Amino acid sequence: MKNSVSTVKIDTFDLTTTAPKTKKSDPVWVVFATTFITIFLAEIGDKTQLSTLLMSAQSHAPWLVFLGAGAALVTTSLLGVLLGGFIASRLSPKTVEKSAGLVLLLVSSMLFWDVIHG
């Protein structure tokens, strides 16, 4: 009878600061278009848009509201990009994906709990 050896692979988090494996990067227009479409569709009808609509109607100064809202959205986007760049330089993409999934699962569970138990 032949002896056989079984191996078990355990998935671990990679917390090293080494550069990620280089992959062929997407063209600039693909990154821009994907970002624009994703954010545009996500923002339609959300609280920010409704707040902006109400502020514009109340103030009778739609261009000032547009400039204020635009500056706020650019600032929050800049913070997201800077934080994302910092995280990407410290953690592997798999770690970021798993962490984001866990956070979204936690938020979803909390919202579900709130709906069930009021």
Q: What is the pLDDT, as a whole number, of residue 23?
A: 61
pTM reported for the whole predicted model: 0.58
- 51-95 residue pLDDT tens: 999 999 999 999 999 999 999 999 999 999 999 899 989 999 899
- 92-117 residue pLDDT tens: 989 999 999 999 999 999 999 999 98
pLDDT of 4 over the 60 cut: no
CA distance 94 to 48: 31
Q: What is the pLDDT, as a whole number, of residue 105?
A: 96
Q: Which residues contact 96 (CB under 8 A, 6 or more apart)?
A: 87, 88
Residues in the chain: 118
Q: Where are the domains positioned within the chain?
A: 28-91
The answer to whether the beta carbons of residues 16 and 93 sit under 8 Å apart is: no
